[in-house]
Structure 1
């Protein structure tokens, strides 16, 4: 196992190096001069050239790339051109916000998606099976921005049950410790704030969970149908075991591996692809952070933000591979 993990971590190095180079070249192909964007349209040519020199933008592209790479190897993600703050320090609150949102979204998707898939497989061709698969198809097809707006209109404007956006109440902001507000409110003993933070999480989490939930439900149903035709499942049912134990003890354990693969991929995608949800609900996450950096041509923020998301995505896939062996002892790693 340790040999396999070490091998995967070594394979991660060329992947991330290739990612840094591709991102570096692509963002510099975007029209616009960062110095011009920062100083504005009325800035003089001398001021723009001076800022370009101070930012190192007057150097050849390969010099800029190797300077960035050298700093990266030392753990330096660079400084934001716009705020002149270290990216490593500045990026964490945004990453924590997205991680918290993605975690609750994937939790909703797994709990509802897996159980819907199990029930659909057990009662194949029943009204619940047809209804669940139609809802799953709608969930996959439904645009997130439309669902988010409808949630705000119904639950925030009409019913006034839930806040329309943000992470907390601006009148009583959370005292950030880890920047994971659910944990911070518990650490601070502010359980009144905890309820408010959870209310702010409900709408964006549901909107973000819709597509993963539908995919997980369909994958769980397909995998469970295959497993439930196995001889050991028929034997367990013939012995009169309760449905709950047949499903969750015998069938699900053997059907969960392809579902786990989907969950890992969806979690990685949620971390990097939540920008629409974050924009609609005013959620200060990593997607909006990178999007704003693109608007200002803030190269260090764009490069480091995408690199961090890519690293997390690869590490989630590695964790999923490790879980395979823990769930199914028959899986061996060379």
Structure 2
């Protein structure tokens, strides 16, 4: 297991290095001047030059890239006399000095994602820390709906194969997979948040935390979670239904299922003790992929429902060319994908003893 974890950690570092390289050069060659976006329409040449010097936009692209790697690396180098834009020269984070050579000190620290261009020097880690929990709550709620209802309907569909109930479930699941999330979000918001508002008491838009009626304090509005969670869970729900049905039908044809039936076990006992666990491997794969995608932002759903999550924050950052927020968010998303994939590999070993962690 230790060897497996070390191998995964090594490949994770290589993957993150590739992601860092791609997103840095991709977003730094985009048209548009971040300095002008930050200053608005009242900028002058002196102000633009000052902002470029502060954030290092006046340096060669390769130098900016090396500075960025230095900020992200847990082991970084800091020049005593340098007044560059990296966080160490400003004392933004606590760090531990390892050793010094001439004017350069090597320190160990947490990765630094820099500061937002548009939020008055607010750290990117703070921006992500404020929005990612909202996205996580939304994603967990949506995937929970998909798992519970999807597995149940998949089992029902397999038990009633080729009957009207099975065909009805298949039509609904196919429809759920084919309808885009943004269209479902608009439709649900209009129907349940506007037309049926007096019956559902649900709003078209709203986030998890909102000001109370007196505007004095923030309070949790759980009802605002209902519509976006349902909309976000529709497509993974449809996938889980299809995978669970097909996988369960394959398991039903196995020899050990016929043996269990010959022993006199009821259909419920066969499903609970033998069939479901062995049919879950493809479902786990789908769930892990969808959950990682949901944590990636669920951009359309969050933006349409006004849910203050990471997806909405990424859209706002793209509109204002807030490069540190965009790049930091993409890095966090990549890290989440890697962690979830490792976790899924461990679950495979539990579900199927034939799967070896090598």
TM-score greater than 0.5 by the shorter chain: yes
Cα pair distance change 1:64/1:251, threshold 3 Å: same
Deviates more, 1:205-214 or 1:82-91: 82-91
1:194-233 superposed matches below 5 A: 196-197=221-222, 199-233=223-257
The higher radius of gyration belongs to 2
- 1:14 aligns with 14
Q: CA deviation at 1:42?
A: 3.5
- 1:188 aligns with none
Aligned length: 316
8 Å contact from structure 2 (residues 310, 329) kept in 1: yes
Segments of structure 1 that go 5 or more residues without pairing to the other structure are: 177-192
Segments of structure 2 that go 5 or more residues without pairing to the other structure are: 75-110
Deviations 1:146-198 (A, max 9, x none): 2112212222212221122222442168988xxxxxxxxxxxxxxxx66x41x
- 1:78 aligns with 114
Cα pair distance change 1:100/1:174, threshold 3 Å: farther
- 1:152 aligns with 189
Q: How far apart, CA to CA, are the structure 1 residues paired with 2:21 and 2:49?
A: 25
Q: How far apart, CA to CA, are the structure 1 residues paired with 2:354 and 2:181?
A: 39
Cα pair distance change 1:330/1:114, threshold 3 Å: same
8 Å contact from structure 2 (residues 345, 357) kept in 1: no
- 2:266 aligns with 242
| Helix, strand or coil at the partner of 2:58 | coil
Matched, 1:301 2:325: yes
- The structure carrying a bigger strand percent of its residues is 2
Which among 295, 317, 323 is matched to residue 341 of structure 2?
Answer: 317
- 2:212 aligns with 171
Q: How far apart, CA to CA, are the structure 1 residues paired with 2:28 and 2:355?
A: 44
Which among 275, 293, 305 is matched to residue 269 of structure 1?
Answer: 293
Q: CA deviation at 1:3?
A: 1.7
TM-score (norm 2): 0.84
Deviations 1:177-229 (A, max 9, x none): xxxxxxxxxxxxxxxx66x41x1111000110111111111111111111111
Deviations 1:242-273 (A, max 9, x none): 22221122101111111101110110111114
Q: CA deviation at 1:46?
A: 2.0
Cα pair distance change 1:174/1:130, threshold 3 Å: farther
TM-score (norm 1): 0.90
Q: How far apart, CA to CA, are the structure 1 residues paired with 2:301 and 2:294?
A: 10
8 Å contact from structure 2 (residues 135, 297) kept in 1: no
Q: CA deviation at 1:2?
A: 2.4
- The structure carrying a bigger helix percent of its residues is 1
Deviations 1:16-49 (A, max 9, x none): 0000110111112221100111111332122112
| Helix, strand or coil at the partner of 2:329 | helix
Q: How far apart, CA to CA, are the structure 2 residues paired with 1:297 and 1:44?
A: 19
8 Å contact from structure 1 (residues 204, 281) kept in 2: yes
- 1:96 aligns with 133
8 Å contact from structure 2 (residues 211, 217) kept in 1: no
Q: How far apart, CA to CA, are the structure 2 residues paired with 1:265 and 1:20?
A: 21
| Helix, strand or coil at the partner of 1:331 | coil
Q: How far apart, CA to CA, are the structure 2 residues paired with 1:228 and 1:159?
A: 43
Q: How far apart, CA to CA, are the structure 2 residues paired with 1:203 and 1:168?
A: 15
Q: CA deviation at 1:125?
A: 0.5
Deviates more, 1:229-238 or 1:89-98: 229-238
8 Å contact from structure 1 (residues 55, 81) kept in 2: no
- 1:24 aligns with 24
| Greater RCO, 1 or 2 (C-alpha within 8 Å, sep 6+) | 1
